[in-house]
Structure 1
């Protein structure tokens, strides 16, 4: 399975948002500056995350984005599915009751595809945003902080 830039950049942007939105909404511009992701691309990603109710937008002066749920309620799987769609690396019609497959009854490989799909989904669903924020803070502490107490990385 290979994630596109939507998943990779979107997850980075969401970690950034989680770190900086505790006190006030975070602007697309500030995320763009810290993460090196274009504002236009971030707007597209945030629209998808907003539709999935992972983020909320705040209008007006001092507006921006905040998390739509608590960090411990947002899994990496939630984020990646909102941005990428299905995470199943193998599309096998034999795994779907609706589609079916003429070889499904005798197909042993569908067992392998199901195990791979299940494993990926279980892994990304077990990693929560708050864990990634803590990991990011630890990396910043290891690397040193700026005077404002924010990560300089």
Structure 2
């Protein structure tokens, strides 16, 4: 699994003009899943992200987690994170898991975050979505498991 983690001041995802997920300060997660991913990868990354200390404390140091600040998560499935652009000019997406594999694992990942006490909003798997947010910092990280 590959996840782009972006700290945000606010975020929302809309489909055909209708808001389907919205948060105030917290994290926007773009979640990519490949063929070999399993629940152990989702569990590792849910734990990693829930504890990731990327919010500033009173001294201005990145020392607080999403739970520490009472923030929320907007999680969006993103198969293009496994796009391969090494050959030609058109990306290949053969490394992205098929929807019948990716969707249940994506749902499980979000459930694992909720089990850690986080508020999790989502887009809609496989839909054409508009994602809007204010990247706070900006802070953007890529976390993966297994490690690339």
TM interval, short-chain normalised? under 0.3
Which is greater in Rg? Answer: 1
More strand per residue: 1 or 2?
2
More helix per residue: 1 or 2?
1
**TM-score, normalising length from structure 1?**
0.26
**TM-score, normalising length from structure 2?**
0.26
